[in-house]
Amino acid sequence: MEFFGLDEGAIRLSVFAGIFATMALAETLFARKTRTQKRTSRWFTNWALVVIDTAVLRIIFPVLAVGVSVYAQQKGWGLFNVIALPTWLEIMIAIALLDMAVWAQHVATHKIPLLWRFHKVHHVDRDIDVTTGVRFHPVEIVLSMAYKLVLVLAIGPAALAVFLFEVILNASAMFNHSNVKLPNGMDRALRAIMVTPDMHRVHHSIIMRETDSNYGFFLSFWDRLFHTYIAQPEKGHDGMVIGLEEHQDDAPSSLIWSLMLPFKDSAAANEAVLAQEKTQ
């Protein structure tokens, strides 16, 4: 499919590569926090997860979100295929609705134990940087895509709106996970509308109250609206610890360990239940 006269895949790859290169350079020159681990093993694991996630999506889903939006339009399914709005307004509303839905999904991954098992693979990264924004377990990616396809069918947004949202979401995830220090004035101005690195970094704190905040990926006002916003970490950005308290070691930098983590947690939980039953 083409947008703006260019191939969809070419645009996605160009934006992805451009944002990654920009943020990787920026966090090297203007680092916010000192790294606790070397990049080598972390980046290998994080990028390997991206490759695996991409391959799994292509195998399981013959058509992804943009293709489903075209199908919904052909069938007349979804909100925007029932009501007529100017294209520019439909795109703006669709992006806002999709972003709010992703915010709600993110909250669910923290609140529902089964979803948390897989989402915690994202949170165990002990250094937060541009690659953390693409570090997700394949099972979570599959569930996330299934959720997104249902949303597209229900909302019925134009293919261009879905395409723009996915590009924006991917770019903003790399931006707000980057380990870059923005000038205070710039951070304040940007976070009035969008999630900044300092805002999202709070979400990766080992302090549970802070982990349970700042769920947004693109637009920042969902957290303010639903009272899940924390402006700054309790111990400051220099003093805060990133990751999960029970995994402050080198294990999260291992690809196999990261892939197996949700199932190890499941096995441990089953063993605990069996042990409790034996004592009763």
How far, rounded to the nearest angstrom, does the alpha carbon of residue 28 sit from its chain's CA centroid? 22
* CA–CA dist 140, 174 (Å, integer): 18
Q: What is the pLDDT of residue 266?
A: 57
pTM for the full predicted model: 0.91
pLDDT in tens, 143-160: 999 999 999 999 999 999
Is residue 274's pLDDT more than 80?
no
Q: What is the pLDDT of residue 203?
A: 98
Short-list 262, 250, 198, CA closest to 36: 250
What's the rounded mean pLDDT across residues 212-231?
97
Residue 219's DSSP bridge partners are 194
Beta carbons within 8 Å of 125's beta carbon, 6+ residues apart: 42, 46, 132, 135, 204, 242, 243, 252
How far, rounded to the nearest angstrom, does the alpha carbon of residue 239 sit from its chain's CA centroid? 24
Confidence band of 271 (pLDDT split at 50, 70, 90): very low
What's the rounded mean pLDDT across residues 20-48?
95
Q: What is the pLDDT of residue 2?
A: 59
How far, rounded to the nearest angstrom, does the alpha carbon of residue 196 sit from its chain's CA centroid? 13
* Integer CA distances (angstroms), 262 to 14, 228, 252, in order: 33, 26, 12
Instruction: Give me the residue spans of the domains in the chain.
Output: 2-270
